[in-house]
Homo-oligomer: A and B are copies of this chain.
């Protein structure tokens, strides 16, 4: 039996101690809470997780600990994409071995202006080296940050070369017309929108849900729209949901979300961030929290 991943996934924020080491017990508890609060699954080690600021060893130890703690691997889609094929292979092989429902794969993102051929070969090389039939790849398209992205031509080649292995994507391009093209061209390819702003549009066109930073703080509200997208008032529900993102859109996303968590829990360590990210200033945080409370 294969259950395809779908629904509402949080790219889980990574709580850190004052020495900036990942607070794994707190992280595991937060993962459990997100599932209890409405997430259908989790995408640990996403952009919002500061994954690319974590060491390779740290990521692997955390994922082992999460699965060992009993969080169902089948509901996990850990981020695995790095600049280097051997490192991406390590992370992907571990995820497949642990039985993760999928992996979220950034393209190699150091070199810019690379060709479609190069991106295709990079992903293909990872899949071949992992060589595990359990591997399920979701390509991760986020050109605003990674700069390098996945073109439709690359997706098409990957689907032809690795049917049943390359099964979907997360699109964080912020570009609805791109996402629409993917949905139109590749029926059966499971597209998660990277922003819950497009959730209704995504579902109406056959998309499978969202992997959204906002799912860290309003998982239940996003899940409600997912569960009721066929309802008559779905557009209003979407509009209502958009107000939370609107409230935070003028602020650096990860610092803002950690600020909301610190404010909600009273636990100041939620503010710990790894450089190069830094916290909002006190005044800015105050302003953002007020807008968020009013959303």
Contact = CB atoms under 8 A, between A and B. Distances in A.
Interface string A56-77: 1110000000000000000000
Count copies of this chain in the complex: 2
Contact of A86 (B57, B85, B114, B146): B57
Contacts of A84: 52-56
A110 interface: yes
Contact of A111 (B58, B148, B276): B276
Contacts of A148: 276
A116 to B, nearest CB: 10
Contacts of A20: 85, 125
Contact of A277 (B107, B111, B278): B111
Which of A52, A84, A90, A122 gathers the greatest number of chain B CB atoms within 10 Å? Answer: A84
B53 A275 contact: no
Contacts of A112: 144-145, 147
A34 to B, nearest CB: 23
Which of the four size classes fits the interface of chain A? 35 or more
A52 B111 contact: yes
Interface in A111-163: 111-112, 114-115, 117-122, 124-125, 144-148
Contacts of A54: 84, 86
Nearest to A58: B86
28 contacts: A20-B125, A47-B110, A52-B83, A52-B84, A53-B83, A53-B110, A55-B85, A55-B90, A56-B56, A56-B87, A57-B86, A82-B83, A85-B274, A85-B275, A109-B110, A110-B146, A111-B276, A111-B277, A112-B145, A115-B276, A115-B278, A117-B278, A118-B278, A119-B275, A121-B275, A121-B278, A122-B276, A147-B147
